[in-house]
Chain A
Amino acid sequence: MADIVNPAPGSEKLPETSNVFTELFGNDSAVKNKGMMAPPAPGISGRSVNSGPIGSLKPSVAEHPGRSFFQLSLLVFVITVGVFLTQNSSWFSVIGVNPALKVEQAEAYVDQLNADTRVQKHLAATLLLEQYSGIADEYLYDKAQSISAYNSDNKKKAYKELANGLLPGLTENLGQVIEYLSEEIPNEEVAAVKDSMDELITNLKTKEGQVDAQTLLQDIRDLETAKTLLQSQSFKDELKALDLTALKDAQIESVLNQFGGINSSVTAVISKIKAKRVKWSGYWSELEALTKSVDPLFNTEFSGSVHVSDMKFSTTGTASVSGETSTDDKKNFTLVSNLIDTYESSKWFRNAADRSYVKNDNSEKVTGNFKIIMDIELNP
């Protein structure tokens, strides 16, 4: 039997080549003849694997370590970027909520809570100011009655005690209002509070028909007033500047009128009307006092130089004094000029003038008519 060492007779001798198989199995001509042991064709590289011994298969990493290292480092960089993107970018939250998204959501929630608490503070301040309006109105009425010339001393004293009894409540109320409005809201955050209020108003309006109409209307009015209060920085500054230990009547009235200007309730409308009223009794008294300063005998039982026939006052902003002058020295025109200058010197009147002068020389005295027209200073 042919064996590996001794080839079978008659077999053709193949060219002597060696490969893995021949190295392992020797020169088996039968296998060779079948072509199994034939060396493979040269590879694509054009190099034969028969170029050397077994250690001759060299990996490319070993051939190009620098390039492989660079490629690996790039891979690591990309992986690192990817990992931290999933953690530090809110838009790349792949598995659950990453820290960046958590922060973003928490910041939005904190902003919303801040806006809500500010809404609540302004609503509370609005209700307190409405309570204040009622107390202040009563206080100012009692105070006015306590100094009225038309009340008896006992009545004046009683009104004064009533007024003093209301003062601590007024002070406490204002103190609470100031506490609610003490926070300085940055301008850029005011819009968020306004939006929150608008949203609440819109939600309330959708409840029409589901709840009591009066209550709903009042809640909406309260929110609208709170919204106006939010934007009334000068009013809030005035409140914060009040010295509650020494509150003056003028300050109490000022706060009442200013709140009346921003409130939309019925009591606020009443306050607004009252604030616009002109106290004509004061103007009348002032005009008489000024006339008396020119003619001390005016409006006495004695005959003086100035006899007033009528006085007129109008909310159009004008006043007039008509009458007659009577002098011994014939200086009637001078007397009228003195009256004009005296009226002009008062803070209550301005632009006093008489454009027509008439004088009559009678047997005993010289008389003359006058009509002085002037503008009224509505807020002296």
Chain B
Amino acid sequence: MRERTYTYLGIAVVLITVAWGIFQWFEREGLVLHAEELSQQTLNLSGISDRLTGNYQDLKAASAKIRESSAQEIALVFPTKEDLTNLTRLFDDFSTKNNFESNPFFISNLTYQTPLSSDEGAYRYVPVVLTVETSRKNLSKFLEFVEQSGSLEGEARLMSVEDISIKYPSEFGGEYEARITLDAFFSQEL
């Protein structure tokens, strides 16, 4: 009786061994195939990586050239220091080019305040207060000039108007008086 039990157990173990062996064999075959697929994938990705590296090097060289050529223009619109003398020349130049008897733009007062840093420290700015006597057309033109400043193409110092108070003339066609507070920007401390 015991012998028969052992025999049956032995047969069961043999069957389990065979089944498990077959399963593991297929598992192994699957792993071998998967390894071959991964090997092919590796080859493909390596080729893509090499191509991308080449593209990146080309782009980097092109970017370096552009950065070098625009460095001078950036220095004009976003200098590394306050550069108040060039800023004063800029305002005076605008005034001179646009001040006519019938169409005036006259800066009667120009005051620079203490420079400040932005909250995140990415840049600095100097508040400027201008008092101008101007025609409506020239006041509008000056506002547009400031609103478009900072473009590398235009080469005008980057500015933005913060406050503007416009006093209307008592008669139509008369002079407007405007008090303009604007910020002139420059870069963070290096």
A interface residues (Cβ-Cβ under 8 A, vs B) = 64-67, 69-70, 72-74, 76-77, 80-81, 84, 87-88, 99-100, 102-103, 106-107, 109-110, 113-114, 116-117, 120-121, 123-124, 127-128, 130-131, 134, 137-138, 140-142, 144-145, 148-150, 218, 266-267, 269-270, 272-274, 276-281, 284-285, 299-301, 307-315, 323
| Contact of A120 with B52 in the complex, beta carbons under 8 Å | yes
Q: How many residues of B contact A (CB 8 A)?
A: 72
| Nearest CB in chain A: distance from B23 CB, A | 9
| Contact of A274 with B158 in the complex, beta carbons under 8 Å | yes
Task: Kindly state the separation between the CA atoms of A266 and B41 in the bound complex, as whole angstroms.
Answer: 40
| Contact of B17 with A80 in the complex, beta carbons under 8 Å | yes
Inter-chain contacts of A76 with B (CB < 8 A): 13-14, 17
Q: Which candidate, B84-92, B109-117, B136-144, is the interface stretch facing chain A?
A: B136-144
Given A106-B39, A106-B42, A138-B153, A99 contacting B67 (CB threshold 8 A):
no
Inter-chain contacts of A150 with B (CB < 8 A): 141, 144
| Contact of B165 with A114 in the complex, beta carbons under 8 Å | no
Task: Kindly state the separation between the CA atoms of A307 and B39 in the bound complex, as whole angstroms.
Answer: 83
Inter-chain contacts of A281 with B (CB < 8 A): 140, 143-144, 147
Nearest B residue to A120 via CB reads B52
| Nearest CB in chain A: distance from B9 CB, A | 5
| Nearest CB in chain A: distance from B130 CB, A | 14
Query: Can you report 30 A-B residue pairs in the complex whose CB atoms are below 8 A from each other?
Result: A66-B7, A67-B2, A69-B6, A70-B10, A73-B10, A73-B14, A76-B14, A77-B16, A80-B24, A84-B20, A84-B24, A99-B35, A103-B34, A106-B39, A110-B42, A110-B45, A113-B45, A113-B46, A127-B60, A127-B62, A134-B66, A140-B151, A141-B154, A145-B148, A218-B67, A270-B77, A273-B160, A311-B168, A312-B164, A313-B163
Task: Kindly state the separation between the CA atoms of A144 and B147 in the bound complex, as whole angstroms.
Answer: 10
Task: Kindly state the separation between the CA atoms of A127 and B140 in the bound complex, as whole angstroms.
Answer: 38
Which of B2, B13, B28, B70 is in CB contact (< 8 Å) with A87? B28
| Contact of B17 with A73 in the complex, beta carbons under 8 Å | yes
Q: Is B106 in contact with chain A by the CB < 8 A criterion?
A: no
* Interface core residue of B9, B49, B63 (most chain A CB under 10 Å): B63
Task: Kindly state the separation between the CA atoms of A145 and B149 in the bound complex, as whole angstroms.
Answer: 12
| Contact of A77 with B17 in the complex, beta carbons under 8 Å | yes
| Contact of B48 with A66 in the complex, beta carbons under 8 Å | no
Task: Kindly state the separation between the CA atoms of A52 and B6 in the bound complex, as whole angstroms.
Answer: 30
Inter-chain contacts of B151 with A (CB < 8 A): 137-138, 140-141
Task: Kindly state the separation between the CA atoms of A70 and B41 in the bound complex, as whole angstroms.
Answer: 47
Q: Is B108 in contact with chain A by the CB < 8 A criterion?
A: no
Inter-chain contacts of B165 with A (CB < 8 A): 310-312
Given A127-B60, A269-B187, A117 contacting B52 (CB threshold 8 A):
yes
Inter-chain contacts of A140 with B (CB < 8 A): 151
| Contact of A308 with B168 in the complex, beta carbons under 8 Å | yes
| Contact of A66 with B42 in the complex, beta carbons under 8 Å | no
Inter-chain contacts of B16 with A (CB < 8 A): 77
Task: Kindly state the separation between the CA atoms of A103 and B38 in the bound complex, as whole angstroms.
Answer: 7
| Contact of A117 with B48 in the complex, beta carbons under 8 Å | yes
Task: Kindly state the separation between the CA atoms of A99 and B32 in the bound complex, as whole angstroms.
Answer: 6
Known: A73-B10, A103-B38. 15 other contacts (CB 8 A): A65-B3, A84-B20, A88-B28, A99-B32, A107-B38, A109-B42, A110-B41, A120-B49, A270-B150, A270-B158, A272-B122, A277-B161, A279-B143, A279-B147, A308-B168
Inter-chain contacts of B20 with A (CB < 8 A): 80-81, 84
| Nearest CB in chain B: distance from A47 CB, A | 21
Nearest B residue to A218 via CB reads B67
Inter-chain contacts of B46 with A (CB < 8 A): 113
Task: Kindly state the separation between the CA atoms of A76 and B18 in the bound complex, as whole angstroms.
Answer: 10
| Contact of B7 with A69 in the complex, beta carbons under 8 Å | yes
| Contact of B166 with A113 in the complex, beta carbons under 8 Å | no
